[in-house]
């Protein structure tokens, strides 16, 4: 029986020794150092100076909207009180229900500046102009521009307001 206990004691001692060696090897082992890619920037010693953003610096002035007040007044885009200049020749197309400043500018670009022009449109005219209105396509018929412009061209404000509401 002593033979069996001596063998068991040797096996247990060997298992403990192996466990200690494995634990020591795991704990002693350091994580490998990660090598980071070196990406130099302008703050890295010896790096080249930063390049200029020539797209913005050397670009010509964009528009009146980007001007300062002094340049805008000098260019005649804004009067001294800071108000926009009076509208171009023709009627105020924004009085038409469904026509805002963007659509009014788009119509002026197409040569439409007066109520009597729109009041006289035929179906062929509508078919020619409507596709050119982009996102506003279909507004001519949906908002009854021709009927609205008949009232406005005739100066019938009361009739217009009775049919379409206040201007």
Mind listing the pLDDT tens digit for each residue in 44-101?
777 777 666 565 555 555 544 444 545 544 555 444 455 554 545 889 999 999 999 9
Dist CA 141 CA 138 (whole Å)? 6
State how far Cα 18 lies from the chain centre: 66
SS (H, E, C) 66-117: HCCHHHHHHHCCCCCCCCCCCCCCCCCHHHCCCCCHHHHHHHHHCCCCCHHH
Of the CA atoms within 13 Å of residue 97, those in its CB half-sphere come to: 16
The pTM of the full predicted model, rounded to 2 decimals, is 0.47
| pLDDT, the chain, mean | 79
Dist CA 46 CA 117 (whole Å)? 70
pLDDT digits (tens, 9 = 90+) for 4-16: 677 888 999 999 9
Q: Are 97 and 143 in contact (CB under 8 A)?
A: yes
Q: Residue 83: what pLDDT?
A: 53
Q: Are 119 and 149 in contact (CB under 8 A)?
A: yes
């Amino acid at each position: 029986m002593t033979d069996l206990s001596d063998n068991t004691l040797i096996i247990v001692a060997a298992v403990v020794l192996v466990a200690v060696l494995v634990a020591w090897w795991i704990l002693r082992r350091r994580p490998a150092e990660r090598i980071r890619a070196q990406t130099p920037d302008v703050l890295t010693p010896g790096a080249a100076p930063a390049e200029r953003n020539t797209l913005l610096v050397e670009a010509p002035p964009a528009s009146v909207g980007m001007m300062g007040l002094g340049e805008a007044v000098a260019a005649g885009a804004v009067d001294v009180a800071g108000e926009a200049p009076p509208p171009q020749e023709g009627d105020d197309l924004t009085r038409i229900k469904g026509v805002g400043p963007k659509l009014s500018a788009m119509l002026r670009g197409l040569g439409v500046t007066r109520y009597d022009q729109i009041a006289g449109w035929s179906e062929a005219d509508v078919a020619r102009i409507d596709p050119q209105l982009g996102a506003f396509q279909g507004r001519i018929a949906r908002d009854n521009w021709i009927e609205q412009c008949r009232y406005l061209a005739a100066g019938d404000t009361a009739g217009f307001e009775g049919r379409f509401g206040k201007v």
